[in-house]
């Protein structure tokens, strides 16, 4: 998959924003037509199930025919199952073979259109972006070497898991950056994306539990498809503009051919640049966007570190020796110094407080492609 495509926020196919219309096949068997509807959802998360159906219609008597839906996919993609509740009654003797569901039909012109409905079980190990076809096929017992068919595409998204990531995007002085673009790059390769709210907070949930992640924070931009949505990598900031960073505080060179040339893996690019790898649910992912030039190392802090000071009060105790009046001379009693509690003050670093607030204030957004809630717009 092209690196440019990976960075597209609204990759129409990957994010399932393009509806695949029913496709009508031309009739190789006179009077017979087929359409296929679905799959739904599409793309389908690996490890889950989609549905699809095909409708078959007759305008003439055909005699015995078979109708089927076939899965044309790479090995290990998944399997088809009959959906009896969605399949009409004149389709009989239906057989499941894993990659196809086939039914008999004694077709007559007076018959109403018939529907064959199937479940598509996608294997959990299928990589995201894998494509396949569904085909609706009509075969005649009396007209050999002829058939009617219609096709539809299906692709995969990552599996749904329980991992969540959340954080905030700030600029110098601890000011929030609204509408900042968050790209979570994963291994296996996929891009999960969201936009920060008015407080600079973001959150992604339902992420695959077996993936590894790196987080990129990019200054707000208006792309060809809308906010944070571009046909290619984000625009390259100029001098004096806010600069993009990988977590934790690693400048992103958006002009690097290894990232934009279409041959590399942006996750690997990020790791090689020094990005922090996350392998489990993580909150408090603080990204600091500043106008500091790329060569600034270390980069400026968005929240100033407060020096911790400690004031200690020292109490000096003096042992006293007294002579008991009724005791023989030379015998003394010693008073033992008591143990006193520590006395002093300490100042908690503002960065520690800030990291706690990040987790508490993160907004919960929709998974895979997130957008700000209406109340924050």
Top-confidence residue, 240 or 377? 240
Let me know if residue 344 belongs to a domain. no
pLDDT of residue 43: 95
pLDDT at 21 over 50: no
Top-confidence residue, 88 or 19? 88
149 with 17, same domain: the answer is yes
Identify the domain containing residue 182 by its residue range: 163-303+352-370
Helices (H), the chain: 3-7, 257-260, 266-273, 350-361
pLDDT at 365 over 80: no
Let me know if residue 327 belongs to a domain. no
- Which range has the worst mean pLDDT, 57-61, 152-156, 289-293? 57-61
Question: How much of the chain exceeds pLDDT 70, in percent?
Answer: 72
Residue-averaged pLDDT of the chain: 77
pLDDT of residue 233: 80
131 with 175, same domain: the answer is no
175 with 76, same domain: the answer is no
100 with 188, same domain: the answer is no
User: Do the Cβ atoms of 342 and 211 come closer than 8 Å?
Assistant: no
98-111 burial, b at 16+ Cβ within 10 Å, e below that, comes to eebbbbbbebeeeb
Q: What are phi and psi of 260, to 5 degrees?
A: -105, -5
Q: Which structure tokens are listed for 108?
A: 């007559």
pLDDT at 360 over 80: no
Instruction: Please work out, in degrees rounded to the nearest 5, the angle formed at the alpha carbon of residue 346 by the alpha carbons of 344 and 352.
Output: 160
146 with 216, same domain: the answer is no
147 with 173, same domain: the answer is no
d(CA 58, CA 110): 8
pLDDT of residue 4: 32
**Of 157, 188, 216, at which residue does a domain stop?**
157
Please tell me the total count of domains within the chain: 2
Tell me the mean pLDDT in the region 161-190: 96
**Of 130, 157, 184, at which residue does a domain stop?**
157
Let me know if residue 7 belongs to a domain. yes
pLDDT band at 305 (very low <50, low <70, confident <90, very high): low
153 with 168, same domain: the answer is no
Tell me the mean pLDDT in the region 86-98: 96
pLDDT at 161 over 90: yes
pTM of the model: 0.67
pLDDT at 86 over 90: yes
195 with 278, same domain: the answer is yes
Give the CATH number for residue 39: 2.60.40.690
Neighbouring residues of 292: CB distance < 8 A, sequence distance ≥ 6: 243, 299, 300
Give the CATH number for residue 174: 2.60.40.1120
d(CA 188, CA 166): 20
39 with 175, same domain: the answer is no
- From the centroid of its chain, how far is CA 226? 19
pLDDT in tens, 225-260: 899 988 778 899 999 999 999 999 999 999 888 876
Let me know if residue 315 belongs to a domain. no
Q: Which structure tokens are listed for 127?
A: 């990589």
361 with 268, same domain: the answer is yes
Q: Which structure tokens are listed for 308?
A: 């911790």
Let me know if residue 75 belongs to a domain. yes
pLDDT at 359 over 50: no
Let me know if residue 308 belongs to a domain. no
pLDDT at 187 over 70: yes
Tell me the mean pLDDT in the region 119-130: 94
In the sheet with 212-218, reading across from the earlier edge strand, the strands are 190-195, 181-187, 212-218, 245-246, 250-251
**Of 142, 157, 172, at which residue does a domain stop?**
157
d(CA 251, CA 12): 28
pLDDT of residue 29: 85
pLDDT band at 368 (very low <50, low <70, confident <90, very high): very low
User: Do the Cβ atoms of 245 and 288 come closer than 8 Å?
Assistant: yes
pLDDT of residue 262: 63
> Is it true that the peptide bond before 188 is cis, omega within 30 degrees of 0?
yes
d(CA 149, CA 23): 9
Neighbouring residues of 128: CB distance < 8 A, sequence distance ≥ 6: 14, 43, 46, 156, 157, 158, 188, 189, 190
Let me know if residue 250 belongs to a domain. yes
d(CA 149, CA 163): 42
- Which range has the worst mean pLDDT, 56-60, 79-83, 213-217? 56-60
The DSSP code sequence of 303-334 is SPPPPP--EE--------EEE-TTS-TT-EEE
pLDDT in tens, 190-209: 999 999 999 999 999 999 99
Q: Which structure tokens are listed for 176?
A: 């929030």
Question: How much of the chain exceeds pLDDT 90, in percent?
Answer: 59
d(CA 63, CA 371): 54
Tell me the mean pLDDT in the region 208-230: 93
pLDDT at 126 over 50: yes
User: Do the Cβ atoms of 65 and 31 come closer than 8 Å?
Assistant: no
128 with 192, same domain: the answer is no
pLDDT at 335 over 60: no
152 with 273, same domain: the answer is no
Let me know if residue 79 belongs to a domain. yes
Top-confidence residue, 264 or 34? 34
Tell me the mean pLDDT in the region 47-57: 96
| β-bridge pairing 147-157 and 44-45 | parallel
């Amino acid at each position: 998959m092209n690196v440019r495509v990976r960075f597209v926020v609204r990759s129409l196919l990957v994010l399932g924003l393009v509806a695949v219309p029913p496709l009508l096949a031309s009739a190789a068997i006179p009077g017979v037509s087929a359409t296929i509807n679905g799959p739904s959802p599409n793309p389908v998360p690996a490890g889950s199930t989609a549905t699809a159906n095909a409708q078959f219609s007759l305008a003439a008597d055909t005699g015995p025919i078979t109708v089927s839906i076939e899965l044309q996919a790479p090995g290990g993609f998944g399997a088809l199952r009959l959906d009896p509740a969605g399949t009409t009654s004149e389709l009989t003797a239906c057989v499941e073979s894993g990659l196809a569901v086939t039914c008999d039909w004694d077709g007559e012109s007076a018959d109403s259109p018939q529907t064959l409905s199937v479940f598509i079980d996608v294997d959990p190990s299928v990589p995201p972006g894998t494509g396949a076809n569904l085909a609706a096929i009509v075969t005649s017992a009396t007209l050999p070497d002829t058939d009617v068919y219609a096709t539809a595409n299906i692709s995969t998204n990552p599996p749904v898991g329980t991992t969540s990531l959340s954080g905030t995007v700030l600029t110098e002085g601890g000011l929030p950056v609204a509408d900042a673009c968050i790209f979570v790059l994963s291994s296996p390769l996929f891009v999960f994306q969201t936009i920060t709210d008015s407080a600079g907070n973001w959150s992604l949930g339902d992420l695959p539990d077996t993936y590894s992640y790196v987080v990129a924070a990019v200054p707000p931009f208006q792309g060809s498809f809308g906010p944070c949505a571009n046909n290619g990598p984000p625009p390259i900031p100029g001098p004096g503009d806010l600069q993009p960073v990988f977590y934790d505080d690693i400048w992103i060179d958006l002009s690097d051919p290894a990232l934009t040339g279409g041959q590399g893996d942006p996750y690997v690019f990020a790791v090689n640049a020094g990005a922090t790898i996350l392998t489990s649910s993580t909150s408090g992912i603080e990204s600091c966007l500043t106008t500091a030039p790329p060569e600034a190392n270390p980069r400026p802090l968005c929240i100033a570190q407060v020096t911790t000071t400690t004031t200690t009060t020292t109490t000096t105790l003096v042992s006293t020796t007294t002579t008991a009046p009724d005791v023989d001379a030379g015998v003394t009693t010693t008073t033992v110094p008591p143990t006193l509690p520590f006395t002093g003050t300490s100042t908690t670093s503002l960065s520690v407080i800030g990291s706690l607030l990040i987790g508490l204030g993160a907004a919960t957004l929709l998974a895979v492609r997130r957008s700000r809630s209406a109340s924050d717009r």
